[in-house]
Structure 1
Amino acid sequence: MAGVGVWFAIAIACHFGAYCAYLLGLRRDMVQPNRASWLIWSFATTVEAVTYVALNPGTPQGMVFLMSAGFCILVTLGLWRQSQWSAPSATELFCIVACLGAIGLWLVFRNTFWAHMLVVAAVPVSFWPTWQSAMEDRTRETSPAWGWWTIGDLATLLVALRASRHDIADLAYIVVEISCHAGVWLMIGLATINPWRSLRRGGMDTGWRFRVGDTHLGKAVFATHRFAEGAILMPFTGRRFHADRVPSLMRGQQDRFVQVGAQEYMGPSGGYDDLVNHSCDPNAGLRFTDKGVLLIALRDIAAGDEITWDYSTTLAENNWHMICQCRSEQCRRVIGNFSTLSPERQEWFRRRNLVAPHLRRRDSVTRIEGDTAAGQ
Structure 2
Amino acid sequence: MENKKLDKTSVAFGLIAAAIHLSAYFIYNRQMFLGNTRPNAATWGLLLTISTMNCVSYFFMNRDWGKIVLPATSTLATFITFGYAVTGGKFSGFGNYDIVAGAISLIAAGAWWYFQKDGLANLILQIAVTASFVPTFIGTWNNPTNESCLPWFFWTSAYIFLLASVLRRRKSWMDFIYPSNCLVLHATVGLLALR
TM-score, normalising length: structure 1: 0.45
**Deviation of the 1:37 alpha carbon:** 4.7
Aligned residue in 1 for 2:162: 156
- Determine which of 17, 20, 27 is the counterpart of 1:14: 20
**Deviation of the 1:6 alpha carbon:** 4.2
Question: SS at the partner of 1:144?
Answer: helix
The 1-side partners of 2:135 and 2:43 are apart by 6
Higher CA-based Rg: 1
The 1-side partners of 2:123 and 2:97 are apart by 23
Return closer, same or farther for 1:130/1:67 CA change in 2, 3 Å cut-off: same
Aligned residue in 2 for 1:146: 152
Query: 1:8–1:159: 8 Å Cα contact kept in structure 2?
Result: yes
Cα-Cα RMSD:
2.7
Counterpart AA for 1:114: L
Return closer, same or farther for 1:56/1:114 CA change in 2, 3 Å cut-off: closer
Instruction: Kindly indicate whether residue 80 of structure 2 is the aligned counterpart of residue 48 of structure 1.
Output: no
Task: Say which structure is richer in helix.
Answer: 2
**Deviation of the 1:189 alpha carbon:** 1.6
- Determine which of 166, 170, 178 is the counterpart of 2:171: 166
Structure 2 unaligned spans of 5+: 1-6
Query: 2:100–2:131: 8 Å Cα contact kept in structure 1?
Result: no
The 2-side partners of 1:5 and 1:116 are apart by 21
Return closer, same or farther for 1:108/1:41 CA change in 2, 3 Å cut-off: farther
> How many aligned positions are there?
189
Counterpart AA for 2:131: V
Query: 2:11–2:67: 8 Å Cα contact kept in structure 1?
Result: no
Higher relative contact order (CA 8 A, sep 6+): 2
Instruction: Kindly indicate whether residue 95 of structure 2 is the aligned counterpart of residue 89 of structure 1.
Output: yes
Question: SS at the partner of 1:187?
Answer: helix
Aligned residue in 2 for 1:183: 188
Query: 2:14–2:68: 8 Å Cα contact kept in structure 1?
Result: no
Counterpart AA for 1:146: W
Q: Deviations over 1:333-355 (max 9, x none)?
A: xxxxxxxxxxxxxxxxxxxxxxx
The 1-side partners of 2:39 and 2:140 are apart by 9
Q: Deviations over 1:162-183 (max 9, x none)?
A: 11x4321120111111011111
Query: 1:134–1:188: 8 Å Cα contact kept in structure 2?
Result: yes
Matches within 5 A, 1:118-157: 118-142=124-148, 144-157=150-163
Query: 2:14–2:161: 8 Å Cα contact kept in structure 1?
Result: yes
What percentage of residue pairs aligned between the two structures are identical? 23
**Deviation of the 1:97 alpha carbon:** 2.5
Return closer, same or farther for 1:131/1:100 CA change in 2, 3 Å cut-off: farther
Query: 2:140–2:193: 8 Å Cα contact kept in structure 1?
Result: yes
Q: Deviations over 1:351-370 (max 9, x none)?
A: xxxxxxxxxxxxxxxxxxxx
Instruction: Kindly indicate whether residue 47 of structure 2 is the aligned counterpart of residue 64 of structure 1.
Output: no
Structure 1 unaligned spans of 5+: 191-376
The 2-side partners of 1:87 and 1:112 are apart by 30
Query: 1:19–1:71: 8 Å Cα contact kept in structure 2?
Result: yes
Return closer, same or farther for 1:133/1:168 CA change in 2, 3 Å cut-off: same
Aligned residue in 2 for 1:277: none
Return closer, same or farther for 1:27/1:107 CA change in 2, 3 Å cut-off: farther
Query: 2:13–2:161: 8 Å Cα contact kept in structure 1?
Result: yes
The 1-side partners of 2:140 and 2:26 are apart by 20
Return closer, same or farther for 1:57/1:169 CA change in 2, 3 Å cut-off: closer
Question: SS at the partner of 1:29?
Answer: coil
Q: Deviations over 1:137-172 (max 9, x none)?
A: 333322621111000001100110111x43211201
